[in-house]
Chain A
Amino acid sequence: MFVQLEDKPLFSLGGCFNLSELTLDMKYTSSCIVTTSISILSTLDPIQGGRLEWVRLTTSCVYRWLCKKSRTELAQLWGNLDAILSELAKVAMSVEGKRLTFVLVSTEIHEKCIVFGRKRLPELLPRFHELGLLRVDQARGSLKIASCCGGSCSHVPICMEDHNDPSPG
């Protein structure tokens, strides 16, 4: 009988000193999009990732990850994402003076998605909310949540945009 502990490295962004845009397109995956995003983003050193300007997360099941779990589970799921994105946004602003934008794109058109997005996001991203950095907008029936920060901008708004426009900026 033996117990063996092994490290199995996940995809790592370590060493990506010049990364400016990161797109995670997980439209049809069954895995938790929030956890996967955290796993990947956490491999990026905030100092090294100071040039990061865009983080784009595309999925077809935002509603599922916004609403279908208990409040505690949701807080656990989104808490780390909130912390990591806040950290990246702060460093991007202080080191490079750059504007970091995080966009969560839902490819499903679901009214509940928008309603619950407005209701839950302040709870799910408390750091942004506490700092007054949260904004939620709606555009053309499709949920898009974006947070941006940098330069002289002192807030991290969250907004929505059209998912048919794939180009950042």
Chain B
Amino acid sequence: MPPHRTLPQELVDQIIDELGDAYRDPDRGKRSDHRIDACEALHACALVSRNWTGRSRAHLCREVKISGDEDCLYLIPPQSLMPYIEKLRIQLRCQNYRLFPSSDLFSPFYTAPIAYLGITGGVFATEAQACLGECIAALSATLQTVIFKSSSLSLRVIIDIVLAHPGLKRLHLHSCDLKPAEGDPFVLPRLGECSETPILELGVFSQPLWAGHNLTVAAVAQLGCQFGRLNFDYIYGPGSICATNALLNANAASFSSLTVHIISCTSRIVNHRETTDFC
């Protein structure tokens, strides 16, 4: 009779649990690098066989921390690991400017290299309107792509951006509620002659682009005239999905290209509201 080469599953689980305890509690062992050893051992165990994988993952993925800027919300963890997560921490940090320190952003020392290095794109996330004006003045005319992440961006700022950058080919407004100032008509100046079709990308986080801001069909049509292409990220706006779609479709002819991204959880929320209303 051949020797039994497989350990009983109960023993395998017990061995892995020992490693898991050491992984969670580094003081349990005498050595300071005990936790690192246990972590490596658990990783190795997870690759031994299917019988070892589940238990090892349960210890490795018990606590998961995801950190980064708001884009990390689009991170999709592997579904196979989700059942093992018991504690999940999501840490969102706003990055002011991805190229240079925010405190020195507008000094000549930092703005000059933009043209020198041939940098053609920038990402900004700031709530300060005053800084935006300085920023627009400081940006190089060679800048072709501007991405703003701000919840307080006004239409006047957009107009200034377009005026200051005749060569602008891509303007991305992320997580913005577009707010026209008092008596400020929604008028965008024409862009300069561009070899490519300029693109306007709008990431509207909490409200539909025009909800409550008196942005009309004509305004949307004008957006189409100015930019040609519109990428519209629509994340959440209860009860207004149909209105948004109708408005976009009514102006479809204004755009050479129109892409609407609808975050999947939106419909779920609306359904949830309907359900709770009936209750």
Interface residues of A (CB under 8 A from B): 1-32, 35-36, 38-40, 42-43, 76-77, 79-80, 83-84, 87
Point out residues on B near A: beta carbons under 8 Å: 66, 70, 72-76, 79, 82-94, 125, 127, 149-151, 175, 205-206, 233, 235-236, 238, 248-249, 252-253, 255-265, 268-269, 272-273, 276
* B269 adjacent to A80 (CB under 8 Å): yes
A19-B85, A26-B92 are known contacts. Are A11 and B74 too (CB-CB below 8 A)?
yes
Chain A residues near B273 (CB, 8 Å)?
79-80, 83
With the chains together, A83 CA to B275 CA distance in Å? 10
Identify the closest chain A residue to B239 (Cβ).
A76
Residues of B within 8 A of A9 (CB): 74, 76, 263-264
Contacts A23-B89, A30-B127 known; A43 to B268 CB distance under 8 Å? Answer: yes
User: Bound complex: CA of A40 vs CA of B74, how far in Å?
Assistant: 11
B205 touches A25 (CB 8 A): no
Which B residues are CB-close (under 8 A) to A20? Answer: 86-87
Given contacts A1-B256, A6-B259, A79-B273, contact A25 B89 (CB under 8 A): yes
List, in ascending order, chain B residues with CB within 8 A of A16's CB: 82-83, 85, 88
Q: How far does the Cβ of A125 sit from chain B's closest Cβ, in whole Å?
A: 13
B87 CB to nearest chain A CB (Å): 4
Instruction: Compute how far the CA of A107 lies from the CA of B249 in the bound complex, rounded to whole angstroms.
Output: 44
11 additional A-B pairs beyond A23-B88, A39-B269, beta carbons within 8 Å, are: A4-B258, A8-B233, A8-B262, A19-B88, A23-B90, A25-B90, A25-B92, A30-B127, A30-B149, A35-B205, A43-B265
Q: What B residues does A35 contact at CB under 8 A?
A: 205-206, 235-236
Among candidates A3, A8, A13, A19, residue contacting B263 with C-beta atoms closer than 8 Å:
A8
- A-B contacts, 19 listed (Cβ < 8 Å): A1-B257, A7-B261, A8-B233, A9-B76, A11-B72, A12-B76, A12-B265, A13-B88, A18-B84, A21-B87, A25-B91, A30-B94, A30-B175, A31-B151, A32-B206, A35-B236, A39-B73, A42-B268, A80-B272
Q: Determine how close the nearest CB of chain A comes to the CB of B272; give it in whole angstroms.
A: 6
> Are B253 and A1 closer than 8 Å at their CB atoms?
yes
Partner of A29, one of B75, B76, B92, B265: B92
Closest 6 CB pairs of A and B: A15-B82, A23-B89, A8-B261, A21-B87, A25-B91, A83-B276
B206: which A residues are within 8 A, CB to CB? 31-32, 35, 77
Q: Which among A11, A80, A84 is the interface contact of B73 at CB below 8 angstroms?
A: A11
B76: chain A residues at CB < 8 Å are 9, 11-12
CB-based nearest A residue for B61: A18
Instruction: Write out the residue numbers on chain B whose beta carbons fall within 8 Å of the beta carbon of A43.
Output: 265, 268
B150 touches A8 (CB 8 A): no
The distance from the CB of B113 to the nearest CB of chain A, in whole angstroms, is 26
Taking a contact as CB atoms under 8 Å apart, the answer to whether A80 and B233 are in contact is no
Q: Looking at the assembled complex, report how far the CB atom of B240 sits from the nearest CB atom of chain A, in whole angstroms.
A: 10
Query: Which residues of B have CB within 8 Å of A8?
Result: 74, 233, 261-264
The docked-state distance in angstroms from the alpha carbon of A32 to that of B238 is: 15
B256 touches A29 (CB 8 A): no
A28 touches B94 (CB 8 A): yes
CB distance from A138 to the nearest CB of B (A): 26
Contact A10 B73 (CB under 8 A): yes
**In the bound complex, what is the Cα–Cα distance between A4 and B233 (angstroms)?**
12
Q: How far apart are B235's CB and chain A's nearest CB, in angstroms?
A: 7
CA distance A76 to B90 in the complex (A): 24
Please measure, in the bound complex, the distance between the C-alpha atom of A26 and the C-alpha atom of B72, giving whole angstroms: 12
Identify which of A10, A21, A30, A77 contacts B150 (C-beta below 8 A): A30
The 8 Å CB contact of A21, one of B82, B88, B256, B262, is B88
Q: How far is the CB of B187 from chain A (nearest CB, A)?
A: 24
Contact residues in A for B259 (Cβ distance below 8 Å): 4, 6
**Cβ of B238 and Cβ of A31 under 8 Å apart?**
no
Tell me which residues across on chain B come within 8 A of A77, comparing CB atoms: 206
Is B93 a contact of A28 with CB atoms below 8 Å? yes
A4: B residues at CB distance < 8 A: 258-260
User: Which residue on chain A has the smallest CB distance to residue B69?
Assistant: A29
- B14 to A: closest C-beta gap in Å: 20
A9 and B88 alpha carbons, distance in the complex (Å): 19
